Amino acid sequence: MSYYVVQGGQTLRGSVPISGAKNSVLPILAATLLNGGRNVLHNCPDLRDVRSAIQILEHLGCKVSREGDTVTVDSTVVDRWDVPHELMREMRSSVIFLGPILARCGRARLSLPGGCDIGQRPIDLHLSALRKLGTVIREQGGDILCEASDLQGRDIILSFPSVGATENTLLTATACSGVTRIINAAREPEIADLQEFLRKAGALVSGGGESVITVSGTTPRRDVEHTILPDRIEAATFLCAAAACGGEVTLTGVEPEHVGTVIQCLRDGGCAVRSAGRTITLLAPQRLGSMPTVRTMPYPGFPTDSQAPLMAAACTAQGSALFIETIFENRFRHAAELQRMGADIRISGRTALVTGRALHGASVRSTDLRGGAALVVAALAAQGESRVEALTHIDRGYEHFAEKLTGLGAKIQRRDD
């Protein structure tokens, strides 16, 4: 089992490149099924979840190759329409393949994605939207069997701006006859990136990144070359690490406006943050000050994925900070591990009250992807040595994490038992 050994107490200095966004490359890899041609994707991070998505594409019949951060998918041949159980279990967000498989093959078979560490993760909004577009869905022994012989576009109102449900509906709608409007769509930047990819393939889509997305059913058939947008959550994680450890850090290859709410919190905590073009520079105070209440919301609100890393920074700050997690029902699991490092965190349902104090090194275990990153942030800021275990969670969403931190002066080493 792999783990990190971290010697805390180092300030972070220097610049760090931000990789392509996991939550953009996954739906775009799924969307490569649509054009039955060649898709060249640049700025693709090499992550566990990306490798799982590539395995699914190869299982379906695609040819996939990687050269550095460029992944090429040839979807000329797609001769299967199921996602194997083990791959669904490996990555629950594989449900994003449902729409494109349906659009390409007219049918799809997936096992119901289970819950995960941060919540039940139901897909009722996905399934109800696809049914309204004409998909016949049966559940059988934990699998969902879908038939879509005659998809008709129509208005789909999402009761919650679910990212995945927006993406699955958008991808299915490309195969509908007529016009589909997705109302109360998710507005995350990854949706606009997916729309950009689809437009290059020839789809007629508009409104991506806004609350109403309009799709005129035309099967996209053009080859695509596309560059994945930068990972705003990785960027937020490094900003929280710099704020917690002190020092001056510049992120390169990033979209500052996608990290605005996190930057505002850190500015409130006394950090000087300036952005220019595709760089963000954060100059941390000697000790982070208290921050206002952090309430996670759908984009453009504060991102739930940045809640854990910011909580880690708040653990060493002056004063108290209140976190309200409104998106997932079980997204404070990292708190118990942070408490092992001396953190003062009081949980009550979906709120966590953090009172800053000095942290000490400890042996801790990642509970989920962003919770694991939070433990690394805290270990970097703690006095003494920490051991962070269960790195498979972190490997899902952070590329070259230890190397990037080492480049900023952190003392962190990956070891295998």
Q: Name the nearest CA neighbour of 245 among 110, 405, 84, 61.
A: 405
Q: Rule CB under 6 A: is residue 259 a binding residue for ligand EPZ?
A: no
d(CA 49, CA 229): 17
313: enclosing H helix or E strand: helix 307-314
Q: Rule CB under 6 A: is residue 124 a binding residue for ligand EPZ?
A: yes
Residues numbered 261-280 forming contacts with ligand EPZ, rule: CB under 6 A? none
> By the 8 A CB rule, do 289 and 319 touch?
yes
d(CA 346, CA 338): 11
Smallest distance from ligand EPZ to CB 287, Å: 28
Q: Where do we find the tokens 């073009």? A: 277
| Binding test (CB under 6 A) with ligand EPZ, winner from 305, 325, 337, 395 | 305
Q: How many CB atoms lie within 10 A of CB 254?
A: 27
| Binding test (CB under 6 A) with ligand EPZ, winner from 23, 39, 52, 75 | 23
Contact segment (CB under 6 A) with ligand EPZ among 18-26, 213-221, 243-251, 270-278 equals 18-26
Task: Report helix, strand and coil shares of the chain as percent, to nearest 5.
Answer: 35, 30, 35
d(CA 82, CA 98): 9
- For 142-188, give the DSSP string: TEEEEE-SS-B--EEE-SS--HHHHHHHHHHHTTSBSEEEEET----
Q: Rule CB under 6 A: is residue 165 a binding residue for ligand EPZ?
A: yes
| Binding test (CB under 6 A) with ligand EPZ, winner from 75, 93, 180, 261 | 93
Q: Rule CB under 6 A: is residue 28 a binding residue for ligand EPZ?
A: no
Smallest distance from ligand EPZ to CB 87, Å: 14
d(CA 404, CA 15): 9
Contact segment (CB under 6 A) with ligand EPZ among 58-66, 161-169, 201-209, 244-252 equals 161-169
- In sequence order, what are the residues at sequence separation of 6 or more whose Cβ sits closer than 8 angstroms to the Cβ of residue 325? 296, 304, 307, 331, 332, 350, 351, 352
Q: Rule CB under 6 A: is residue 341 a binding residue for ligand EPZ?
A: no
Q: Rule CB under 6 A: is residue 126 a binding residue for ligand EPZ?
A: yes
What is the pairing mode between strands 272-276 and 279-283?
Answer: antiparallel
Residues numbered 313-332 forming contacts with ligand EPZ, rule: CB under 6 A? 327-328
| Binding test (CB under 6 A) with ligand EPZ, winner from 369, 381, 382, 394 | 369
Give the full edge-to-edge strand order of the sheet including 363-365: 363-365, 385-389, 2-7, 411-416
| Binding test (CB under 6 A) with ligand EPZ, winner from 153, 246, 270, 397 | 397
Smallest distance from ligand EPZ to CB 105, Å: 22
| Binding test (CB under 6 A) with ligand EPZ, winner from 162, 237, 261, 366 | 162
Contact segment (CB under 6 A) with ligand EPZ among 145-153, 155-163, 273-281, 371-379 equals 155-163
**Amino acid at position 121, single letter:** R
Instruction: Count residues near ligand EPZ (CB under 6 A).
Output: 25
Contact segment (CB under 6 A) with ligand EPZ among 82-90, 120-128, 194-202, 399-407 equals 120-128
Report cis status (omega within 30 of 0) of the bond before 300: yes
Smallest distance from ligand EPZ to CB 279, Å: 23
Q: Rule CB under 6 A: is residue 294 a binding residue for ligand EPZ?
A: no
**Annotated active-site residue in 116, 245, 271, 315:** 116
Contact segment (CB under 6 A) with ligand EPZ among 21-29, 237-245, 313-321, 372-380 equals 21-29
d(CA 294, CA 96): 29
**Amino acid at position 150, single letter:** D
In the residue annotation, 62 being an active-site residue is answered as no
What is the pairing mode between strands 363-365 and 385-389?
Answer: parallel
Footprint of ligand EPZ (CB under 6 A): 22-23, 26, 93, 119-126, 160, 162-165, 186, 304-305, 327-328, 369-370, 397
Catalytic residues: 116
